[in-house]
Structure 1
């Protein structure tokens, strides 16, 4: 099918967006529950637990670009990307359930299965993220498509992040509760896999372009794409800040809000619920001020609101939840405009070089994002260890000192706020907008 230039049908947008059940579940639940599972159920020391969570994700730095190059060079009757959606997603659903199966109390077992799951996720996520650049070359349509995707992503975060702790508690916490939770999230991933595969059956596949002859040549082209480099650095650093905050949800609810039973669920509901409401607002803001400025505004909102949460010990719970809603609104904007700017960078490269290598760009992008999200729990674990957090094997958190609680508070509030704000420095010099894309296209034609 030729490269499309108009709007996509609603059924294609919805079908593509269903893939957010896969990316949202795997991007959220390990960052939310895996570190507490290791420290408070398996009794793994906080520092070691942080390494066990980080190491398998670091593998994505190597495997994601490889997955991207493979999908770039794939030719099937279903297109280059869709076969990976099916087989990568099915494997991930099974492996995710196995992460929390815990046949033995072993952190090494968790790390090995998590590594396998991260590999399966790479072969789903990289082709999935590459598809928008090939589904449409309309600058505004990319924002609309990402709005659908992020709306479904918010629902996925709510379903997986808010309900997973509830499922765990319903089945008795500890190992039995986590086993049930693993199956629950595995089913969500399965639904997203099948939905995105079938829903994109009629999606345009874009022009088939030659790719660079070697992986090294492709990386050199990526290095030559300045807008992509700047956007990637900012997004990865911000992912580390967001990952730090996600890792602290359970600890913050238990140690600061003193609400171990419902605090995590309410925090997630407050984080995600407003995100669904502000999606139309962010779309209008993007049309008015442009994607870059809207991205900066969303990041500032996230950073300011996250910083205000440091006052949580002195605020009523309702105020904490309202501020958390503002954090979620900022996060929604970051996702919409960051993901809408990525296909612009890929389209810029295609016009400039005449080569088809969206998979390489998205491979590096998803590798960086995954590493950033994985660094978050590692950063939070270092803070826990530095402030004297005590691990437990009972399935419930041990009694903590005021110093340990301070570490939890700073890790959930000030650290993510600073990281997200500082990352914006990387966007200085980013100048890729609709006018610039048209100029590049005209220069190539001339």
Structure 2
């Protein structure tokens, strides 16, 4: 059980902003491939939908190994930069290059193109792990205050919202700048631009966290990796939190992968991808203070249930889009976005609580192991969402194509797009609500100290 701290240092505004700016990397890296990669392969590289989905998912199997290893390495790192920041710098030096290569558009189609994209995406996933795993471990070591973690992570989520809006609008806008569906050249231009955004955000976080406190950070755990992973698996609060997070991420990743198809084939306007995306993530910029207050009023678990219900109701309601119109789809995605904002904030705040309680109970620094497992499983599930959506498209008879040879899709393919965009994600989100009821780390287990952020 965690006990109230007598003298809890408040994380300065400068450090909060410095930490939060790293979320431009998190949001951009997750949003752009999730939004465009499947469509890029099926419609520009003539990769069959099932194979394109497999390419998006396959490199994430590697995450199951590399992410826990990176977490363990960062737990054991001793340097004048601290245990986490050297890894942030390593990610900044490698991810932008690998990301560009994913969308470089070599003169390949079909299976060779799928192999090329898959190899580059695996390299990008490795580089992303170097940054993201230590980055997620930092909040639990910055403060021991139960509610200050939510306040600290509010800044992270604001930056995620801003970055997701920018990348989700900017990337499709660049792609569509040379025609409604884009060209290989426009995809390359998009890749260069987004790579620059990734580099700036990662370096900004590295320098911005130079004075981040390491409140109560215990000694590294000297045990074997498999023993540490077994200990994390034995933490029931962590496992239930991971399960509900995976369900929510699965739904989000399916909706992201489906968005270009939904815009092109249900709304009849490929450029609507940008406005749909803005409707989904825009509420992050406006609703974070509300979710912080709701978390204090109803506790984090109660606020999580409310957020997931809003997400699920809006997703189900979007099924009526063909009968009502594009404006209705945007309104429903605004409702989904408000729920999504709460879900994202509370996931990471609750994860920081679990890590802090584990550190106090065991006296060991295992934040990297927890976040390594979390990131590996979460990213695998996210890519699995694209794989599932690709399978739904294949079952619906979706036809792959190239820009020079457009095809007319059968009605069954259009139905498959709607099912993958709304029906299946809604079922998954409602399942996450049931999982949330099993989460048991409450303020009684971690009473907040008198000081607050």
TM-score under structure 1 normalisation? Answer: 0.95
1:174 aligns with 2:183: yes
Match of 2:253 in 1: 243
Q: How does 1:18-417 map to 2 (within 5 A)?
A: 18-105=21-108, 106-171=113-178, 173-206=182-215, 207-260=217-270, 262-394=271-403, 398-417=407-426
Residue 273 of structure 1 deviates from its aligned partner by 1.7
Residue 424 of structure 1 deviates from its aligned partner by 2.6
Which whole-Å CA distance do the structure 2 matches of 1:3 and 1:205 have between them? 16
Residue 438 of structure 1 deviates from its aligned partner by 4.5
Residue 272 of structure 1 deviates from its aligned partner by 1.7
User: Does the 8 Å contact 1:157/1:272 carry over to 2?
Assistant: yes
1:10 aligns with 2:10: no
Which whole-Å CA distance do the structure 1 matches of 2:220 and 2:170 have between them? 45
Give the root-mean-square deviation of aligned CA atoms.
1.7
User: Does the 8 Å contact 1:236/1:371 carry over to 2?
Assistant: no
What's the secondary structure of 2:364's corresponding residue?
Answer: coil
User: Does the 8 Å contact 1:40/1:395 carry over to 2?
Assistant: no
Cα deviation per residue 1:294-351 (whole Å; 9 max; x = unaligned)? Answer: 0111011101101100000011322221111111111100000011000100111111
1:111–1:4 distance in 2 versus 1, CA, 3 Å: farther
1:187–1:4 distance in 2 versus 1, CA, 3 Å: farther
Match of 1:444 in 2: none
User: Does the 8 Å contact 2:304/2:436 carry over to 1?
Assistant: no
Which residues of structure 1 form unaligned runs of 5+? 442-446
User: Does the 8 Å contact 1:4/1:136 carry over to 2?
Assistant: no
Cα deviation per residue 1:50-108 (whole Å; 9 max; x = unaligned)? Answer: 11111012211111111100100000100000111111122101110111112232111
What's the secondary structure of 2:89's corresponding residue?
Answer: helix
User: Does the 8 Å contact 2:308/2:432 carry over to 1?
Assistant: no
What's the secondary structure of 1:389's corresponding residue?
Answer: coil
Which whole-Å CA distance do the structure 1 matches of 2:316 and 2:82 have between them? 45
TM-score under structure 2 normalisation? Answer: 0.94
Cα deviation per residue 1:266-302 (whole Å; 9 max; x = unaligned)? Answer: 1011112222111111111111101011011101110
Residue 3 of structure 1 deviates from its aligned partner by 12
Which whole-Å CA distance do the structure 1 matches of 2:405 and 2:429 have between them? 31
Which residues of structure 2 form unaligned runs of 5+? none
What is the aligned residue count? 438
Which whole-Å CA distance do the structure 2 matches of 1:3 and 1:182 have between them? 49
User: Does the 8 Å contact 1:241/1:419 carry over to 2?
Assistant: yes
Which whole-Å CA distance do the structure 1 matches of 2:206 and 2:233 have between them? 32
Residue 230 of structure 1 deviates from its aligned partner by 0.6
Residue 39 of structure 1 deviates from its aligned partner by 0.2
Residue 163 of structure 1 deviates from its aligned partner by 1.0
1:75–1:183 distance in 2 versus 1, CA, 3 Å: same
Which whole-Å CA distance do the structure 1 matches of 2:248 and 2:36 have between them? 20
Which whole-Å CA distance do the structure 2 matches of 1:4 and 1:171 have between them? 58
Cα deviation per residue 1:162-183 (whole Å; 9 max; x = unaligned)? Answer: 1101111224522111111111
Which whole-Å CA distance do the structure 2 matches of 1:367 and 1:233 have between them? 13
User: Does the 8 Å contact 2:254/2:389 carry over to 1?
Assistant: yes
Cα deviation per residue 1:379-418 (whole Å; 9 max; x = unaligned)? Answer: 1100000000011111786321111100001100111111
1:309–1:395 distance in 2 versus 1, CA, 3 Å: farther
What's the secondary structure of 2:365's corresponding residue?
Answer: coil
Which whole-Å CA distance do the structure 2 matches of 1:341 and 1:399 have between them? 47
Which whole-Å CA distance do the structure 1 matches of 2:59 and 2:7 have between them? 38
Which whole-Å CA distance do the structure 2 matches of 1:154 and 1:302 have between them? 16
